Amino acid sequence: MVKYAFENFNKETMARASGNNLTISLKKASETLREIKGKKVSAAISFLNQVIEQKTPVAYRRYGAEMAHRKGKGIAAGGFPVKVAKEILKLINSASKNASEQELGDKLFIISASARKGNTRHHNGRNSGLMKATNVEVIVGVKE
5, part of any domain: no
Q: Is residue 105 part of a domain?
A: yes
Nearest-angstrom CA–CA distance, 108 and 141: 5
Does some domain include residue 129?
Answer: yes
Long-range contacts of 50-57 (CB under 8 A, 24+ apart): 51/80, 51/81, 51/82, 51/85, 52/82, 52/85, 52/86, 52/89, 54/80, 54/82
In a domain, 136, yes or no: yes
Is 53 inside any structural domain? yes
Q: Is residue 1 situated within a structural domain?
A: no
pLDDT at residue number 133:
93
Q: The domain containing residue 45 runs over which residues?
A: 14-141
For the question of whether the overall pTM of this predicted structure is more than 0.85, the answer is yes
Containing 123, the helix (H) or strand (E) segment is: none
Question: 48 in a domain, yes or no?
Answer: yes
Query: Is position 7 within any domain?
Result: no
**Number of structural domains found in the chain:** 1
Determine contact, residues 96/29, Cβ cutoff 8 Å: no
Q: What is the pLDDT of residues 17-67, one digit of tens each?
A: 999 999 999 999 999 999 999 999 999 999 999 999 999 999 888 887 777
> Domain with 57 in it: what CATH number?
3.90.470.10
Cα distance between residue 73 and residue 65, in whole Å:
19
Decide: 24 and 141 in contact? Cβ < 8 Å.
no
Q: Is the pLDDT of residue 1 over 60?
A: no
